[in-house]
Structure 1
Amino acid sequence: MFEVLVFVYENYWRGDACPESPQLGRKLSAVGFDADEIEEALRWLDGLHQASHSPDLALTAPILPVEAIAFPATDSLRIYSVAEQDHLGAECLGFVSFLETAGVLAPMMREIVLDRAMAANGSPVTLDDLKIIILMVYWSFGEEPDALVLDELCDDASDRVAH
């Protein structure tokens, strides 16, 4: 699925420039992606679209009315559930915390990142996959992270040499 998401990110500069699911599915199939990967990616992208265009509805529990949910304040403390800790792992949660502390991942965007990471297969989610998810969240809002953040999200840490 993540290869499909990278293709979409590279070929459609913003979420609103991306074609509707049926047309995108045909394009991805013509490029040569597997039908199962395409279906999984389209489902994931639909969830991302819902979360980024109506975050109140996408992130609320079905038993609570929308008006009962408040988005986190910038100075709030996020406590991760056991399921989130298990699915994301310490490395991914540490990276999310790093981006938040650096001031480049707002609390609302963090919640969408976590929602989409929880919807991704793989347990725990790898750091490389989380970086793709973060890029896709920025993409869905039509934003591009600043150059240093983009470098951090796209850089392959395995090529780094320790000093």
Structure 2
Amino acid sequence: MKENTIDVLMFLFEHYVDDDMPFEHDQDTLTVELIESGFPSYEVSKAFEWLEGLAEQQFLSPSDSPSSKAIRIYLPYECEQLDVECRGFLLFLEQMDVLDNFSRELVIDRAMALGSDDFNLDQLKWVILMVLFNQPGQEEAFVWMEDLVYNEEAHTVH
């Protein structure tokens, strides 16, 4: 099975992010654990770079984002990464007030940073979940999205 960066990120999110558990792992320890779990070292490095990029985004001001009346026009390279289904889902989340313009732009930035050739809606949902988890004040949106992601997973397993 070919593991990619989003697989590493999903594994980290599911196994190491827990509000009740102190984060006792440093990057070197996690890298070793991830490689021992079967993830390629290149993808592990890319995942940590992706997380660093996400952390840097926290310091941007929401006032830097487009106004709420703006219409998002996707660039051709964004359309290659985010198909119609993904773009439609982002619009749906905006209309449901799960994503604001600032969060949407962070999601698009992080999705583009993956550079995956086979990016899909399920992967986008995980990116959204990770972005919302890392954004202060987005707790309600995170819970909504977490419910959606984990409930859909439960339904596809049966």
Contact 2:81 / 2:119 at 8 angstroms: preserved in 1?
yes
- What corresponds to 1:55 in structure 2? 60
- What corresponds to 2:42 in structure 1? 36
Query: 1:7-156 alignment to 2 at 5 Å?
Result: 7-10=11-14, 11-13=16-18, 17=23, 19-52=25-58, 54-55=59-60, 70-123=64-117, 125-141=119-135, 143-144=138-139, 145=141, 147-154=143-150, 155-156=152-153
Query: What amino acid is the match of 2:115?
Result: N
- Structure 2 distance, partners of 1:101, 1:18, is 38
- What corresponds to 1:60 in structure 2? none
Give secondary structure in 2 for the equivalent of 1:113: helix
Contact 1:109 / 1:137 at 8 angstroms: preserved in 2?
yes
- Structure 2 distance, partners of 1:55, 1:7, is 27
The runs of 5 or more residues in structure 2 that have no matched partner are: none
Contact 1:12 / 1:18 at 8 angstroms: preserved in 2?
no
- Structure 1 distance, partners of 2:129, 2:36, is 24
The runs of 5 or more residues in structure 1 that have no matched partner are: 57-68
Give secondary structure in 1 for the equivalent of 2:126: helix
- Structure 2 distance, partners of 1:76, 1:19, is 41
- Structure 2 distance, partners of 1:18, 1:72, is 38
- Structure 2 distance, partners of 1:19, 1:109, is 28
- How many angstroms does 1:148 deviate by? 4.3
- Structure 1 distance, partners of 2:60, 2:80, is 24
CA-to-aligned-CA distance 1:58-94 (integer Å, 9 cap, x gap): xxxxxxxxxxx83212222211111111221111101
TM-score normalized by structure 1? 0.74
CA-to-aligned-CA distance 1:15-34 (integer Å, 9 cap, x gap): x9485533432342344422
Give secondary structure in 2 for the equivalent of 1:55: coil
Q: CA RMSD in A?
A: 2.8
In the alignment of these two chains, the number of paired residues is: 146
Relative to structure 1, the CA distance from residue 146 to residue 35 in structure 2 (aligned partners, 3 Å threshold; closer, same or farther) is closer
Relative contact order, higher structure (CA 8 A, sep 6+): 1
- Structure 1 distance, partners of 2:114, 2:124, is 9
